[in-house]
Amino acid sequence: MKNFKAGTYINQGYYKSFQPEVINKKWEINNMELIQLLGEANRLIGKLDMYSDYIPNIDLFINMHVLKEATQSSKIEGTQTNIDEALLERKDIAPEKRDDWDEIQNYTTAMNTAIKKLKTNKLKRA
């Protein structure tokens, strides 16, 4: 990892483009502090996984967190939809607030699609 180069800039006439390097190379980690932090992170992920056994409906739990993330992160872009409104049907939203509601629904759909793809598109080690 010491000599890893993220990519190179390539001249494209009037502009430059960035060509990233392949990232699925073997990593060598020699920093003991980083190894210790990775071990701690791995332990905490295991602990979190253990708690998932106690949640009666894990899909509902994940969906609610995705919805919360959607409403909070979309506020950066100026949306005004809160989590209560996001749970309503589109017809129950005031017409002037439907664009914001649509943004939240699109975000949620995109995130749920990505979560589903994680089940079939596993990350592979080099």
DSSP letters, 44-112, are HHHHHHHHHTT-S-HHHHHHHHHHHHHHHHHGGGT----HHHHTS-GGGS-GGGHHHHHHHHHHHHHHH
> Confidence class of residue 1 from pLDDT cuts 50, 70 and 90?
low
> Confidence class of residue 86 from pLDDT cuts 50, 70 and 90?
very high
What distance lies between CA 84 and its chain's CA centroid? 22
Q: What is the pLDDT of residue 125?
A: 55
The Cα–Cα gap between 66 and 103 comes to 13
The number of residues making up the chain comes to 126
The answer to whether the CB of 24 falls within 8 A of the CB of 126 is yes
Global pTM reads: 0.56
Q: What is the pLDDT of residue 105?
A: 94
| Residue 123 token pair | 């990350």
Residue 80 region by backbone torsions, left for phi larger than 0, else alpha for psi between -120 and 50, else beta: alpha
| Residue 97 token pair | 């607030």
The Cα–Cα gap between 14 and 23 comes to 28
Percentage of the chain modeled with pLDDT above 70: 94
Is residue 89 over pLDDT 70? yes
Task: Quick: pLDDT tens for 26-79.
Answer: 777 888 999 999 999 999 999 988 888 888 888 888 889 999 999 998 888 888
| Residue 13 token pair | 């006439």
